[in-house]
Amino acid sequence: MAHGSRVCRGCGRLNSADDKACYNCGKSLPGPMTSSALGWLADFSADGLPATKAIAGLCILVYGLMMAVDASYGVGPGQVIWGFETSTFIRFGSLLGPPFIQEEPWRVLSAVFLHGNLLHIGMNMLSLVNLGRTLEPHFRTGRFLLLYLLCGALGFCTTVWWRGEFARSVGASGAIFGLLGAFIGALIVRRNPGWQNVFFSNLIMALVLAFAFKNVDNAAHAGGFVAGLVLGILLELERQPRRRDRLVAVLAGLGALAAVAGIVLSARSPIWKQVRMLEMHASERDDR
What positions carry a catalytic annotation?
A: 173, 221
- The helix/strand/coil state of 105 is coil
**28 φ, ψ to 5°?**
-60, 140
Of the candidates 123, 129, 113, the residue with the CA atom closest to the CA atom of residue 48? 129
How far is 11 from 138, CA to CA, in rounded Å?
11
82-91: b (≥16 Cβ within 10 Å) or e? ebbbebbbbb
Cα dihedral value 153, 157, 163, 164, nearest 10 = 120
Distance CA 265, CA 269 (A): 6
Q: Give the contacts of 154 (CB within 8 A, at least 6 positions apart).
A: 174, 178, 223, 224, 227
Q: Of 137, 172, 145, 180, which Cα lies nearest the Cα of 156?
A: 172
